[in-house]
Structure 1
Amino acid sequence: MVRSIVLVIFLTSIFLSQCQHESIASFKSTLCTNDTRKIPLFATQDIHKTFDRAHLRALNIRVIHISTLINDRKVATFDKDRHYIDNIIHILDNTQTSKNDSTIVYTLKVHANYINRTLIHYSIRMIDGENHIFRINCSDVILIIGPSRVIDKVFKGIIPFVIMFISIQMGILLDLEVLKELIRRPIQILIGFCCQYGLMPLIAYSITKLFRYESLYGLGLFVVGCCPGGWASNQWTVLFDGDLNLSVFMSFSSTVASFFMMPFWLYTLGERVYLRDLKIRIPFVNLTQSLLTIIGPLGIGMLAVYCCPKIKPIVTRIVKPMLLILILYFFVFGAFVNFYLFRYISLRIALSAPLLPWLGFIFGGLFAWIFRQDWSRIKTVGIETGIQNVGIAFMVLLYSFPAPENTQASVIPLVVAYLSAQPFYLILLGRFIYRKCQKPEKPVRYVSDDTLSKTTRRLSEEESEIVDTSSPKRKPSIIVSVAGMAADSEPLEVS
C-alpha cells in the first residue's frame, strides 16, 4: 500500500514537472520571438519584453532575473552608454506593471551608434516558490539603418525643388539651333558616350582592384561608374563657360542609354566579379523619373524664353552667381548633414574613390582634344564624363542589398558625390584670387568710324581748297581733333 502511494506521488510529481516544463516551453515561445528591430542612426528606441503575470503565477514563478547584453557596443548601446544590464523582477511587485495589471513590461532603451547589425542577448532565470530555476536564452536582431533626423528630411526635401529650379534656368539658356546642329553632327555626343559607358566602368573596376576594395564597397564604386549623367554637370559647365547645349544633350542621351547600358555592365562584369549570389536590381522607375526631371524643367524653360525672350538676358546675368551659391550651399550643408558617413570608410577608400570622377575629367577632356574639339567643348565633355548620377547608383544599391548592407554600400556614391567636385572649387578659388590680384586695365577710348569718317571728309574738303595744284602730289596729312581726347594728347594725324 505504501509503495503504491509513493509510486502515485512520484508519477504525479513527474507529470506536474512535465506540465511545468511544457508551460515553460510555451512561455519561451511567446517571449523569444527573435524579432528584427530597425533603429535609425542617432535615435534612441524603446524595446519591450512583456510577461504575462497570470501565466507566471500559474507556474508558481516568484522572481525573474533578466540579464541583457548587446553583442557589439560600437553599433548600439543601452542608456548611459552601457552594453550590459542586469535586472530583477518580483512577480508580486506591482511597480513594473503596465496600465493593465495582468502584464509586466520590461523596457530597454537602445541608442543607435553605427550603421550595422548586432544582437541583444537575453538570459532569463525564473525562480519558482520551491527555488527551482528555469533558464531561457534568446536574442533579438538589431538593425541600425540610416538616420531619420529633421535635418536629413529638410535636406532631402529641398533637393528636388532646387534641381527643378536650376534645370528651368538651363532650359532658358538653351539654343535650339545649336541643339539641331548637335543632332545633325553628333560627333561630340559619340565621344561622350564612349567615355561615359566605355571608359568610366573600367576605371571604377581598376580602382577597386588596385586599392583592394571589399566586395561591398567595390560593387558600390562600380555601380557609380555605370551611372553617368549627373545633374550637377550642367551647372559646372555654365560656371566654367562650357557648351551648355552640349552638356544638356549629353545628360539626356546618357540617361536614355542607361536603360540598356547599365544592365549590360552590372549583369556581366559587376555580377561576375563582385557578387555572384546576389541579384542586382535595376531601378527602371527611378531612371524614368530621372529622365523626366531632365526633360520637364528644360521644356518649361524653353517655353518661357519662347513666350518672353527678354527673360534670357536676365537669366544670363544672374545664373553664375546663383549656381555658385547653390553649389556652395549643397557642399557645406550636405557635408554637415552627412558627415557621419566618413566613419564608415577608411582613409584609403576616401582618397581613392574620388579618383573615379577626377580621372573621368582628365580622360574625357583628353579624348575631346584628340578629336579636335574647341576648348569649350573639351571642358564640357570632361565635366560630363566625370560627374556621375549618384542618385541612380544609390537606388541600385538600396534595392539590391538587404539592410544594413544597402546603407553601407551606398556610402560610396555619397562620398564620390561630395569629393568629386573638389578640384572645381580649387579652380574657382584660384581664378577668383587671380582676377582680384590682376591690375585693372586702363580704359581705352575709341573713336567711332562714323565720326572719324565725317571729320576726315570735312577736313579733306577744306584742305583741298588751299593746296597748290602745282605742288608735288602726295597724300594730304589731316589733323583731326576729336572731342573727348585729353588736352595734352597728341593730335591724330590721318593720311
Structure 2
Amino acid sequence: MEKLSVFLQCIVFALLVSNIVLAVNITISNSGENDDDDNSLYVFADEVEILKVRIEDAEDISELTLVAVSKDEDIFRIANDSMRFSVTANETIEIGIMGVFVGIEDIELKLERGDDVIMNVNHVIKVKRQPSILVVIYTWSITAWLLISYITMGCKMDWRIIREKLRRPYGVLIGAFCQFIIMPALSFGLAKLLNLDDAAAIGLVTIGSCPGGWLSNVFSLLLDVDFVLSLTMTFISTVLALGFMPLNLYLYASQFTGDNEDLQTPFFDIMIQLVTLVIPVFIGMVILYKFPKLADICLKCLKPFAVILLVIGFGLGTPAQLYVYFSDWEIYVAGVSLPFIGGCIGFGIAKIARIELKSSVTISLETGVQNSLLAIAMVGISYPQPESDLINRVPLLVVVFTSLEGTILTIAKVVVQKYFWKSGGELEEVEIRNKDEHPEMIEIDGKKCITSVSVGIQVGGEENSDNDDVSIDNPGFTED
C-alpha cells in the first residue's frame, strides 16, 4: 500500500508540474529596430539594446528563475550583472544585449524551477556594424568602378573581333562551360567541404556564379596572353549571366538559406541588377561606333579613373571592411582556393581540348578571376544588414587574394622573361594569336598591329621615341 501511495503521489506531482508547464507563456518584445516580419533583436556593435521578457499565464510562479545564455559571446553577450533573473508576478524582465561583432546568433532563455528546466526558448539576435561614412564612400566607389569598367569594356568591343572569335568558338565555349558549370559546382563543393556557415556559403556560391570581369582583362594584358579572347569571353559571359547566374543561385545557394528568410535569394532584384549592368556595355559599344573620338577619350581616362578608384577601394575599403579580416580560417581558405582551383581547372580543360598555350592561360584567368565587384555590389544592394556583410566576407577576400595571385603571376612572368627566358629586349610587336583569323592586321614601322583592339601598349626598349607608343583604336587606327 505504501508503494502504491508513493506511486500515486508521484503521478499527482507530475500532473501538477505538467499543468504549470503547459500554462506558462513567455512573451518577448524588442526595444531595438525591427520590422513586422522579423522579430529578431537588432543591435549595433558596442551598443546595448534591451530584450523584454514577460512570464504569463503561470499558475504558480514561485521559485521560477529565468536564465539567459548567449550561444556565442564573440557576437553578443549579456550586459546585466547576472544571467539569472527571479520571476515575479506582473513584472517584465529586461535583459541587456551588448553587441560585440557583426553576426547572427540565438539567445537561449531557460525557465527553471530548482534544478528542472520547464521551458526553453531561443530568440535571434542580429549584430550590425556601426554606420560609417567610409562604408558609404566605399560602396559608391565600388558601384562607380563597376559602371566605368562595363562602359570601357563596351568601348573596347568590336563586333568584327567577336565575330572572328565566334567563328571558331572553342575557347569561348570552354570558358562559358567553366564559368557557369564548373565554378558554381566547385564553390558549392568547397562550401560543403569547409563546413562554412550559411551566409559565407551563399557568398562563396554567389562569387562562383558570377561572370568574368574587368580584372581578368587586366591580367590578360599584363601576362601578354590572348587579350582579344579575354574581352570576348567577358562580354559573352556577361550576357549569359542573365540566365545562368539566377539559375545557379537557385540550384546551389538555396541549399544554405536555412530558417533565415533574409538569406533567401532575391532573384528579381538580382535579375534587375544584371540587366542594369549589361546596359553600360552596349552604351560603350554605341559610343565606340557613333562617337569614336569620345570612345578614345574614355579609354584615355580609364587609367586615371582606375588608379583613383583603386586608391579609394583599397585605401578606404580596408578600414571600412575591417571586420572581414577577422573571419574564421575556413573563410580564408575558401577565398584563396576558389580562384586558384578554378584557374587550374580551366587551364586543364583547355589543354585537354588542345587549345594553344596563350589561349589556355586566358581561359584559366577568365575561369578563376570572377567578377568580384559585381558580387559585392549585388549582395550589398539585395540583402539586408547584417546578412549582406556576412555574405560579402568571401567575395571581399576573393578580391584580395585574386589580386595577390595575379600580381605574383605577373611578377613571376617578368622575372622569368628577364633572367631565364630572354627574348632580346622588351615586347617588339603587338601580337594576335592567329594572323590568318584577322585579315585587318597591318604593319607600321615594322610593328604588327590589328585595327580592332582598343588598347595602347608601349613597345620597344627605352631608347625608342614617343612615336613607338602604338595606340590601336577601334574601328580605325590612329597614331598619337
What TM-score, normalized by structure 1, do the two folds share?
0.59
- Supply the AA of the counterpart residue of 2:346: G
What are the superposed Cα offsets for residues 171-200 of structure 1, whole Å, 9 maximum, x if unpaired? 223333213323444333212112223332
- CA RMSD in angstroms, aligned pairs only: 5.6
Cα drift, residue 302 of structure 1:
3.0
Residue 413 (structure 1) aligns with? 395
Name the count of aligned residue pairs: 393
What pairs up with 1:228-307 in 2 under 5 angstroms? 228-240=211-223, 246-262=229-245, 270=252, 283-307=266-290
Greater radius of gyration (CA): 1
Alignment CA distance shift 1:152-1:168 (3 Å): same
Task: Work out the CA distance in 2 between the residues paired with 1:120 and 1:171.
Answer: 54
Aligned to 1:141, what secondary structure does the other structure show? strand
Alignment of 1:119 onto 2:122: no
- Supply the AA of the counterpart residue of 1:74: D
Cα drift, residue 226 of structure 1:
3.3
Choose the corresponding residue for 1:361, options 337, 340, 343.
343
Residue 159 (structure 1) aligns with? 142
Alignment of 1:345 onto 2:328: yes
Alignment of 1:77 onto 2:97: no
Cα drift, residue 161 of structure 1:
1.9
Contact 1:120 1:142 in 2 (8 A): no
Cα drift, residue 390 of structure 1:
4.7
Aligned to 1:117, what secondary structure does the other structure show? strand
Task: Work out the CA distance in 2 between the residues paired with 1:121 and 1:178.
Answer: 65
Contact 1:117 1:404 in 2 (8 A): no
Residue 386 (structure 1) aligns with? 368
Higher mean displacement: 422-431 or 154-163: 422-431
- Supply the AA of the counterpart residue of 1:360: G
Identical-residue share of aligned pairs (%)? 23
Residue 408 (structure 2) aligns with? 426
Cα drift, residue 316 of structure 1:
4.4
Contact 1:259 1:284 in 2 (8 A): no
Aligned to 1:354, what secondary structure does the other structure show? helix
Task: Work out the CA distance in 1 between the residues paired with 2:378 and 2:278.
Answer: 22
Task: Work out the CA distance in 1 between the residues paired with 2:144 and 2:246.
Answer: 29
Cα drift, residue 422 of structure 1:
1.5
What are the superposed Cα offsets for residues 101-153 of structure 1, whole Å, 9 maximum, x if unpaired? xx99968463343412131749899xxxxxxxxxx999672422442522323
Residue 38 (structure 1) aligns with? 41
Task: Work out the CA distance in 2 between the residues paired with 1:293 and 1:380.
Answer: 27
Alignment CA distance shift 1:174-1:220 (3 Å): closer
Task: Work out the CA distance in 1 between the residues paired with 2:333 and 2:395.
Answer: 14
Cα drift, residue 423 of structure 1:
1.1
What pairs up with 1:324-343 in 2 under 5 angstroms? 324-327=307-310, 329-343=312-326
Contact 1:305 1:311 in 2 (8 A): yes
Alignment of 1:191 onto 2:171: no
Contact 2:207 2:395 in 1 (8 A): yes
Task: Work out the CA distance in 2 between the residues paired with 1:76 and 1:286.
Answer: 31
Cα drift, residue 398 of structure 1:
9.7
Aligned to 1:297, what secondary structure does the other structure show? helix
Contact 2:206 2:375 in 1 (8 A): yes
Task: Work out the CA distance in 2 between the residues paired with 1:112 and 1:159.
Answer: 27
Task: Work out the CA distance in 2 between the residues paired with 1:276 and 1:39.
Answer: 19
Task: Work out the CA distance in 1 between the residues paired with 2:343 and 2:332.
Answer: 18
Task: Work out the CA distance in 2 between the residues paired with 1:66 and 1:186.
Answer: 68
What are the superposed Cα offsets for residues 65-119 of structure 1, whole Å, 9 maximum, x if unpaired? 998664543221355xx6637899999xxxxxxxxxxx99968463343412131
Task: Work out the CA distance in 2 between the residues paired with 1:109 and 1:245.
Answer: 56
Task: Work out the CA distance in 2 between the residues paired with 1:171 and 1:180.
Answer: 15
Cα drift, residue 355 of structure 1:
1.8
Higher mean displacement: 337-346 or 243-252: 243-252
Aligned to 1:113, what secondary structure does the other structure show? coil
Task: Work out the CA distance in 1 between the residues paired with 2:383 and 2:374.
Answer: 15
- Supply the AA of the counterpart residue of 2:364: G
Choose the corresponding residue for 2:98, options 98, 103, 110.
110
Alignment of 1:310 onto 2:293: yes
Residue 155 (structure 2) aligns with? 172
Task: Work out the CA distance in 1 between the residues paired with 2:376 and 2:300.
Answer: 35
Q: Structure 1 unaligned runs (5+)?
A: 1-21, 52-64, 92-102, 126-135, 446-495
Residue 59 (structure 2) aligns with? none
Choose the corresponding residue for 2:463, options 443, 447, 455.
443
Alignment CA distance shift 1:70-1:365 (3 Å): closer
Task: Work out the CA distance in 1 between the residues paired with 2:379 and 2:141.
Answer: 23
Residue 478 (structure 1) aligns with? none
Task: Work out the CA distance in 1 between the residues paired with 2:230 and 2:296.
Answer: 20
- Supply the AA of the counterpart residue of 1:119: I
Q: Structure 2 unaligned runs (5+)?
A: 1-19, 31-37, 55-64, 420-424, 427-459, 466-480
Cα drift, residue 247 of structure 1:
3.5
Contact 2:257 2:264 in 1 (8 A): no
- Supply the AA of the counterpart residue of 1:180: R
Alignment CA distance shift 1:333-1:441 (3 Å): same
Task: Work out the CA distance in 2 between the residues paired with 1:283 and 1:371.
Answer: 40
Aligned to 2:40, what secondary structure does the other structure show? strand
Task: Work out the CA distance in 2 between the residues paired with 1:394 and 1:314.
Answer: 28
Contact 2:338 2:368 in 1 (8 A): yes
Cα drift, residue 249 of structure 1:
3.7
Contact 2:347 2:360 in 1 (8 A): yes
Alignment CA distance shift 1:287-1:75 (3 Å): closer
What TM-score, normalized by structure 2, do the two folds share?
0.60
Cα drift, residue 237 of structure 1:
4.1
Task: Work out the CA distance in 2 between the residues paired with 1:384 and 1:321.
Answer: 24
Alignment CA distance shift 1:313-1:409 (3 Å): closer
Alignment CA distance shift 1:282-1:392 (3 Å): farther
- Supply the AA of the counterpart residue of 1:335: T
